[in-house]
Structure 1
Amino acid sequence: MSWSDVVSIVGALGVGSFIGQYLIGSQQRRQVRSDVLKHLSDAETARWAGGTTPAPNFTESMRELETAALIARVPRRVIAHYKVFAYCARWLSQASWDDDPDPEYGGGINGEFADLVRAAAGEVSRVTWAPWWGRVGMKRRLAKRRTEAGHIERIESTLARAEKYLADY
């Protein structure tokens, strides 16, 4: 066996090891990212008050989302933005439910604000699955969404309360 054969075998083993690690790492990254989306879905379900089926605990759902996002390396700014909107929506939904505990219509919130909360959840999803492309224009989208939310009637004070409560927005 010549030196060239030994070098080619060692090189092949090194490249094979690198490819194997990349494929295993890729699978683990997908799993971690899917955990973020699962916890995001749980948080979206838990933020609605009332209903006939018991919802998961909202605070616990948000904590699990934060933990999964931290592990998946989702930008903190996006999670903080979503948290403020989700807490605000939860409090508005609870106030609506307290005013009208109707299983069909109680617990509803302003439709325009509900769309903004869904858009914030979509932003979390975007940066989770496409970390590099999702960051392009992210700051501008977050600022625009926050400005739009500030112009919605009767949302401003609850949004300010959520920002103060969370203090990391």
Structure 2
Amino acid sequence: MTPAEAEPLVSVESLIAVLGAAGLGTILGHLLAAAKDRREVRSRALAAIQHVEELRWAPFDARELSAAMRDAGAALMLARVPRAVTRRYLLCAHAASIVSKDDYDQFPTPEGGGLPGNLDELVALAGRAALAVVWNPWIGRLRAYFLLARATRLEAAVPAGSSVANALTAAKRRAIT
């Protein structure tokens, strides 16, 4: 008999029985269930961010935007996104909604409600930081740190008294900490 024709030393059925008897089947079952739960939490966090992004452009319903931002904060916290990252995203999104509304009030046309480039980039950096942590909780934290450091430098370069600086100040005053 050649080695290829020989029966395996351990069959799959006996291996499963041994693992089950050792309690490893239960552990593997919990790990698989936890992975499914993490995917569901990530999905809810991504959907919440998308909902805020859709609602923050003027014209918008302030109550609906406020509820969406609360839901996004809760979803990001459940997805284990650090509080600083969550707070920065929600702050930037709120400031962008203020500027968008002010612009739309001045120019009530389909083109109204735009954002200055530096505020648009601030929101994008904060959003990318939150998404980085949602997608990859450990490496994403490091990436989020660098993205938020870049956002902090960009925010520091905003001229005092500009619409962006005023909106960021107003958003910070209304922020839930």
CA displacement 1:128-162 (0-9 Å, x = unmatched): 11110011153343132022023234212221221
- Runs of 4+ displaced beyond 2 Å: 8-13, 137-141
Post-superposition shift, 1:9?
4.9
- Aligned equivalent of 1:40, options 27, 46, 49: 49
Question: Would you say 1:76 and 2:83 are equivalent positions?
Answer: yes
The residue aligned with 2:169 is: 160
The residue aligned with 1:59 is: 66
- Number of aligned pairs? 158
Post-superposition shift, 1:11?
4.7
What runs of 5+ residues in structure 2 fail to find an aligned partner?
A: 1-15
The alignment yields a C-alpha RMSD, in angstroms, of 2.2
- Aligned equivalent of 1:93, options 91, 100, 114: 100
Identify which of structures 1 and 2 has the higher relative contact order when contacts are C-alpha pairs closer than 8 Å and 6+ apart. Answer: 1
- Aligned equivalent of 2:59, options 50, 55, 59: 50
Give distance in 1, aligned partners of 2:36 and 2:143: 27
The residue aligned with 1:150 is: 156
Give distance in 2, aligned partners of 1:121 and 1:86: 9
The residue aligned with 2:136 is: 130
Check the 8 A contact 1:46/1:55 in 2, yes or no: no
Rg larger for: 2
Name the SS for the 1:57 alignment partner: helix
Give distance in 1, aligned partners of 2:25 and 2:165: 56
What runs of 5+ residues in structure 1 fail to find an aligned partner?
A: 1-7
Check the 8 A contact 1:49/1:107 in 2, yes or no: yes
Question: Would you say 1:21 and 2:30 are equivalent positions?
Answer: yes
CA displacement 1:39-66 (0-9 Å, x = unmatched): 0000011110128xx8982111101101
Using the size of structure 2 for normalisation, the TM-score is 0.80
Post-superposition shift, 1:67?
1.3
Using the size of structure 1 for normalisation, the TM-score is 0.84
Give distance in 2, aligned partners of 1:31 and 1:11: 28
Give distance in 2, aligned partners of 1:137 and 1:117: 16
Post-superposition shift, 1:91?
0.1
Moved more, 67-76 or 132-141: 132-141
The residue aligned with 1:3 is: none
Give distance in 2, aligned partners of 1:144 and 1:151: 11
Percent identity over the alignment? 31
